[in-house]
Chain A
Amino acid sequence: MQRIGVFVCWCGSNIAATVDVQAVADALAKEPGVVFATNYQYMCSQTGQDMIQEKIKELGLTGVVICSCSPRMHEATFRRTCEKAGLNPYMVEIANIREQVSWVHKDKAVGTEKAIILGRAAIAKVQLNTPLIAGESPVTKRALVIGGGIAGIQTALDIADAGFPVDIVETKPTIGGKMAQLDKTFPTLDCAACILTPKMVDAGQNDNIRILSYSEVEEVKGFVGNFEVKIRRKARYVKEDLCTGCGLCMEKCPQKKVPNEFNMGLDNRTAIYIPFAQAVPKVATIDANYCLMLKNGKCGLCSRNCTAGAIDYKQQDEFIEEKYGAIVVATGFNPISLDKFDEFAYSKSPDVVSSLEFERLMNAAGPTGGTLLRPSDRTHPHTIVFVQCVGSRCDASAEKGKEYCSKICCMYTAKHAMLTREKYPDTEVYVFYIDVRTPGKSFDEFYRRAVEQYNVHYIKGMVGKVVPEGGKLKVQASDLLDNRQIHIDADMVVLAAAIEPDKSARPLATKLTASMDTNDFFTEAHPKLRPVESPTAGVFLSGTCQGPKDIPETVAQAGAAASKVIGLLVKDKLIGNPCVAKPNELMCNGCSSCEKVCPYGAITYEDKPFRGPNRTTLIRRVACVNPAVCQGCGACTVACPSGAMDLQGFSNRQIMAEVDAICK
């Protein structure tokens, strides 16, 4: 049995006016285990705290109950007070007799009675409290950024600037991501490459940043501050340290018919290639699916011509293992596949293009050198129809498309329309939209310029059908405002395809035990208050892997994620919350029920030896909770049928003791 001291606070008249504090102290003094009970004007004052400390020492108190304001107010205060007096801070319980008694009940007798009951409940709980000690764990001062788009680059630069080493893992041969493919950026119309490529160079030259391009995360172990990550460096058949990026190999390569993914397959590249001129690292990569040497063993032209001797046809995938304190996910997005949207004739006509393809067609470094030409006959289009919300904001019951708004399409379509009109004033531009959403700095002005200054025809309505006929694209649409059917003979149709998380995100989430929503966007630890953190401690979110975003938002979030990472990495050790789940291994069945409901991936299983009957040893699978990862929600304790999993500080017995005391 504990030796409990009860301290009843008046809170001036806040409590004392509607609760007879003397009567409360007297009643609670009679409870079993209570060795001392008193009341005082302001328990939180220095004098009040001194009294508590004095009594702990004088009477050898093992538990303290404070009847005062809400624990949300002063629990931390009183825990510190008691800790200074040598009592474990978790041996303190608060009975909330201000917010939940004196302030909500006017009758003094009623208030006093309730205060006594709440005091009893706190006493009953403290009887079962055990001293808790927060765990500590070291922090590896290195961060991993998964994804080398603008989000990953920005996060890495910010972390590196703070003095911490960062690795960027990028699955493509170069960093740069989607932004590298863009032409101009809204709403300022500055060139994407002009603002991105310097950052790419910065990242490549920063001593604190190591770029692991053409690499993938294979396995993640450990927890916040202590991740161990295995990274696969895919064989690029070119020695990265030797390749100078001169490009001679590309000139010599006889296999020139490889669809160029950087240009969305609108032109071809060679089997050995550097994706684009400003690639970082500027290192060639051999595409094993097309290389004649790797496929048939007949060629070797690149190797013969490489003055640096960088070509290595025998290269294998390599694995590196590294420790990290924090992991940032920046896996980005992709436009959805338009195969299912037959009504827009995307797969039937090359002149029906996605917006990202359109970006390449407009780009000076693109397949057409920046001249807008129809892919089919390389002529200038004179009528262009833009279709918004292709696969965005779809009905849940529809079998294609996404329910969410992709957020960026309205603005980039306005940009495309405006740029087209500016470059080719003789071109008629139509935009079909459901709504035009422009909530951003200078966004609406931008859109209005497209309509008012550039005379883009914005039509509220959906395109029903696109039919290629006689070199034209017959567009059937409805104008909802004028309530009429429209037929347009277009030369080009541009589809604003919805964006979706990169396909690598789901398997990565599993490796990280990070949670995702039904659309495969990573979920944040709190939708409002912790938007750049994953619920899994030590895992942070940057960019569109968390939800659709434009570039400024992505960069802002990337910086925010970096600052969270820096905040973690500057710590030498992490001090945990001791009110975490703890399994009783003797009772654990290893059934995995707890693991299934843990939002943090804090639970793992181990085969452990136990003493069996008659001097035997039994090996049993039992749950282990990592106290550095567990946040103490208690979901697992209820999922556990045997009651083996319990929550420290809010144990089954403690809560039932409170119930008993209240219902008595």
Chain B
Amino acid sequence: MQAVIKKKAKELLECGTVDRVLGWKAGEFFYDLTPAVFTTPEEIDKDFVFSVFSGANMSKYLIEETKKEGKVAAFIKPCDSYSLVQLQKEHRIKRENCYIVGIACDGMCDMGLVREAGIKGATAVSEKDDKLVLETIYGEKEMPKEKALLERCVHCKSKKVVDFDEMIGENGEENPDCGRFDEVERLEAMTPDERFAFWRSQLSRCIRCNACRNVCPACSCEKCVFDNPDSGIAQKAAASDFEENNFHIIRAYHVAGRCTDCGECSRVCPQNIPLHLLNRKFIKDMNELYGFYQAGADFETKPPIMNYTTNDAEPSVVYQRGGSK
């Protein structure tokens, strides 16, 4: 895969289709790939990497990249492509300034999960069958690849690239039975006390680094309400339990109907807070109450929160369901 992608990247540059290529750049280790802009075939030869650690969603970078002169190529995984479409719907990406190469994806790994599996000091990786074989300073270790997969990949909602100029690999299908709402359902089945305890144990660890927000393709505001001193709710740190809750509730609300469930928020959280469970709650509720909706799946459909029908459920529907008191 990497070889094909690199070849394509070089080809696009060489034949002048694009002026720049957005991709993943090699780091110090096998896993610390950084999104980067490549401008020459030589740079691509030297530093371009596509591997199971190319998890970063590239679509948000296109906001800035497509404002620049010339054309940029981007390699877009299925889940990234939903963000790409959603951002176009929001007029944030100039599609004419980018060339999208869709790439099939079998799931991305996360180094945090490798470390969680007890593997320390990893310096190199290879794949053997369904396993990751890791060279470490403490000798060779191996683990099942599925244990290192990002949560969003374990419950991959779609392997279909929804917007592209060309495709590398075969385009996949949507996967409605991915079980991505299982965890939400588990929480819904709890009592409110249990749910409250669960979320406090999670959100109280938030350090308000804003990584979730800044990585989020839906959070593309010029200035976030939480950074705007005139908004009345600006906060640089969560100075109380309330502010911890408030930030995450309002953030989830602001991206509701626009969140494509790309899972970047949970991937980047340094505290491993399962933030996607907040977004998925909104998605699940909207699906159940207003009919299935996938943000970024098409260019036309209005997000349910910006739409209505005259016979929608009343808010009291909330009292009639969920865990016992």
- B231 x A643 contact (CB < 8 A): yes
Segment at the B interface, from A58-66, A422-430, A551-559, A582-590: A582-590
A588 and B306 in contact, given A641-B254, A652-B231, A653-B232 (Cβ under 8 angstroms): no
B235 beta carbon closer than 8 Å to chain A: no
Instruction: Say whether, besides A596-B306, A641-B254, A589 and B228 are in contact (CB < 8 Å).
Output: no
A590 closest partner in B (C-beta) = B91
Residues of B within 8 A of A455 (CB): none
B224 touching A589, Cβ below 8 Å: no
Residues of A within 8 A of B92 (CB): 589-591
Which candidate, B108-116, B153-161, B215-223, is the interface stretch facing chain A?
Answer: B215-223
Separation of A589 and B303 alpha carbons in the complex (Å):
17
- In the complex, A618→B63 CA distance in Å? 13
Distance between Cα atoms of A590 and B87 in the complex (Å): 11
Q: Does B302 contact A (CB under 8 A)?
A: yes
Q: Which of B277-324 contact A (CB under 8 A)?
A: 302-303, 305-307, 309-310
Q: What separation, in Å, do the CA atoms of A592 and B67 have in the docked complex? A: 18
A656/B221 contact (C-beta < 8 A), A592-B90, A596-B306 known: no
Q: Is A49 an interface residue (CB 8 A)?
A: no
Among A586, A590, A592, A643, point to the contact of B225 (Cβ < 8 A): A643
Do A642 and B302 have beta carbons less than 8 Å apart? no
Given A588-B222, A642-B223, A642-B224, A621:B91 Cβ within 8 A? yes
- A619 nearest CB neighbor, chain B only: B67
A383 at the binding interface (Cβ < 8 Å): no
By the criterion CB–CB under 8 Å, are B91 and A592 in contact?
yes
Q: Which residues of A contact B255 (CB under 8 A)?
A: 641
Chain A residue at minimum C-beta to C-beta distance from B307: A596
Contacts of A591 in B (CB 8 A): 90-92, 220
A642 touches B306 (CB 8 A): no
Contact A589 B232 (CB under 8 A): no
Q: Within the assembled complex, what's the spacing in Å between the Cα atoms of A641 and B302?
A: 16
Instruction: Give Cα A605–Cα B310 distance, bound, in whole angstroms.
Output: 28
Most buried by B among A517, A605, A618, A642: A642
Question: Contacts of A639 on B, CB cut-off 8 Å?
Answer: 305-306
Give the residues in chain A near B90, CB-CB below 8 Å: 589-593
Contact B302 A586 (CB under 8 A): no
Q: Is the CB of B223 within 8 A of A587?
A: yes
Contacts of B233 in A (CB 8 A): 656
Known contacts A621-B91, A643-B228, A589 near B221 by CB under 8 Å: yes
The distance from the CB of A159 to the nearest CB of chain B, in whole angstroms, is 33
Choose from B222, B303, B305, B307 the contact partner of A642 (Cβ within 8 Å): B222
Candidates A518, A588, A596; contact of B302 at CB < 8 Å: A596
Q: Assess whether B225 is in contact with A589, with CB atoms less than 8 Å apart.
A: no
Which B residues are CB-close (under 8 A) to A587?
221-223, 228
A residues contacting the other copy or chain, number (CB 8 A): 24
Chain B contacts of A518 at CB under 8 A?
309-310
The number of chain B residues touching the other chain, given as a range, is: 20 to 34
Residues on A with C-beta less than 8 A from B67 are 618
**Majority SS at the chain B contact face:** loop
Q: Which B-chain residue is minimally distant from A635 (CB atoms)?
A: B306
Which residues of A58-80 are within 8 A (CB) of B?
A: none
Q: How far, in whole Å, are A220 and B303 apart by their CA atoms in the complex? A: 26
Highest count of chain B CB atoms <10 Å: which of A517, A590, A591, A597 = A591
Residues on A with beta carbons closer than 8 Å to the beta carbon of B224: 642
Give the complex CA separation of A593 and B87 in angstroms.
12
List, in ascending order, chain B residues with CB within 8 A of A592's CB. Answer: 89-91
Interfacial residues of chain B within 233-292, with CB under 8 A of chain A in the complex: 233, 254-255
Answer whether A656 and B232 are a contact pair too, CB < 8 Å, given A587-B222, A597-B306: yes
State A517–B307 Cα separation when bound (angstroms).
13
Which residues on B sit within 8 Å (CB–CB) of A596?
302-303, 306-307
Closest Cβ–Cβ distance, residue A604 to chain B (whole Å): 13
CA separation between A618 and B64, bound complex, in Å? Answer: 11
How far, in whole Å, are A597 and B230 apart by their CA atoms in the complex?
Answer: 24
- Number of A-B residue pairs with CB-CB distance less than 8 Å in the complex they form: 58
Complex interface bits, B73-93 against A, C-beta within 8 A gives 1, otherwise 0: 000000000000000011110
C-alpha gap A643/B306 in the complex (Å): 16
Q: How far is the CA of A436 from the CA of B90 in the complex (A)?
A: 51
For A593, A621, A653, A656, the residue with the greatest tally of chain B CB atoms inside 10 Å of its CB is A593
Instruction: Tell me, in angstroms, the Cα distance from A319 to B222 when the chains sit together.
Output: 41
Once the chains are docked, how many angstroms separate the CA of A475 from the CA of B223?
70
The chain B residue sitting closest to A618, CB to CB, is B67
**B-chain residues with CB within 8 Å of residue A589 when the two chains form the complex:** 90, 92, 220-222
User: Would you give the shortest CB distance from B231 to chain A, in whole angstroms?
Assistant: 5
Residues 345-369 of A contacting B (Cβ, < 8 Å): none
In the complex, chain A residues 479-536 whose Cβ is within 8 Å of any chain B Cβ: 517-518
Residues in A with CB closer than 8 Å to B307 are 596
The docked-state distance in angstroms from the alpha carbon of A518 to that of B67 is: 39
Task: Mark each residue of chain B from 197 to 235: 1 if its CB lies under 8 Å from any CB of chain A, else 0.
Answer: 000000000000000000000001111110010111100
A586 to B, closest residue via Cβ: B222
**Which chain B positions have C-beta within 8 A of A620?**
222
Complex CA–CA separation, A592 to B88 (angstroms) = 11
Encode A587-615 as 1/0 by CB contact (under 8 A) with B: 11111110011000000010000000000
Q: Say how far A599's CB is from chain B's closest CB, in angstroms.
A: 11
B306 touches A593 (CB 8 A): yes
Which chain B residues lie closer than 8 Å to A653 at the CB level? Answer: 230, 232
Chain B residues whose CB sits within 8 angstroms of the CB of A652 once the complex forms: 231-232
Cα-based distance from A109 to B222 in the complex (angstroms)? 49
The residue on A at minimum CB distance from B251 is A641
Residues from chain A with Cβ under 8 Å of B254 in the complex = 641
The smallest beta-carbon distance between A366 and chain B, in angstroms, is 41
Residues of A within 8 A of B309 (CB): 518
- How far apart sit A587 and B228, CA to CA, in the bound complex (Å)? 9
Give every chain A residue within 8 A of B228 (Cβ-Cβ). Answer: 587, 642-643
A window 194-249: CB within 8 A of B: none
Q: How far is the CA of A592 from the CA of B222 in the complex (A)?
A: 14
B36: shortest Cβ distance to chain A, in Å?
A: 21
- Nearest A residue to B87 via CB reads A591
Q: Which residue of A lies closest to B219 (CB)?
A: A641
Contact with B along A631-663 (1 / 0, CB 8 A): 000000001011110000000110010000000
Q: How far is the CA of A644 from the CA of B224 in the complex (A)?
A: 10
Contact in complex: A642, B221 (CB < 8 Å): yes
- Give the residues from 137 to 172 in chain A that come closer than 8 angstroms, CB to CB, to chain B: none
> In the bound complex, how far is the Cα of B91 from the Cα of A593, in angstroms?
10
Cα-based distance from A591 to B306 in the complex (angstroms): 12
Interchain CA distance A274-B224 in the complex, whole Å: 64
Contacts of A588 in B (CB 8 A): 222
* Bound CA–CA A549/B223 (angstroms): 51
Q: Which of B220, B223, B303, B305 has most chain A Cβ within 10 Å?
A: B223
From A655, which residue of chain B is reached at the shortest CB distance? B232
B308 to chain A, nearest CB (A): 9
Which residues of B lie under 8 Å from residue A642 when comparing CB positions? Answer: 221-225, 228
* B residues less than 8 Å from A621 (CB atoms): 91
C-alpha spacing A656/B231, complex, angstroms: 10
Complex alpha-carbon distance, A639 and B221, angstroms: 13
Q: How far is the CB of A282 from chain B (nearest CB, A)?
A: 45
With A and B bound together, what is the CA distance between A596 and B257 in angstroms? 13
B230 to chain A, nearest CB (A): 8
Least CB distance from A613 to B in Å reads 12
B225: A residues at CB distance < 8 A: 641-643
Closest to A621 in B: B91
Chain A, residue nearest B255 (CB): A641
3 closest residue pairs by CB, A with B:
A642-B221, A591-B90, A641-B254
* A-B residue pairs in contact (CB < 8 Å), sample of 17: A518-B309, A587-B221, A587-B228, A588-B222, A589-B90, A592-B90, A596-B302, A596-B303, A597-B306, A641-B225, A641-B254, A641-B255, A642-B222, A642-B224, A642-B228, A652-B231, A652-B232
Q: A591-B92, A620-B222, A644-B222 are in contact. List 4 more A-B contacts (CB 8 A).
A: A590-B91, A593-B90, A621-B91, A652-B231
Interface residues of B (CB under 8 A from A): 67, 89-92, 220-225, 228, 230-233, 254-255, 302-303, 305-307, 309-310
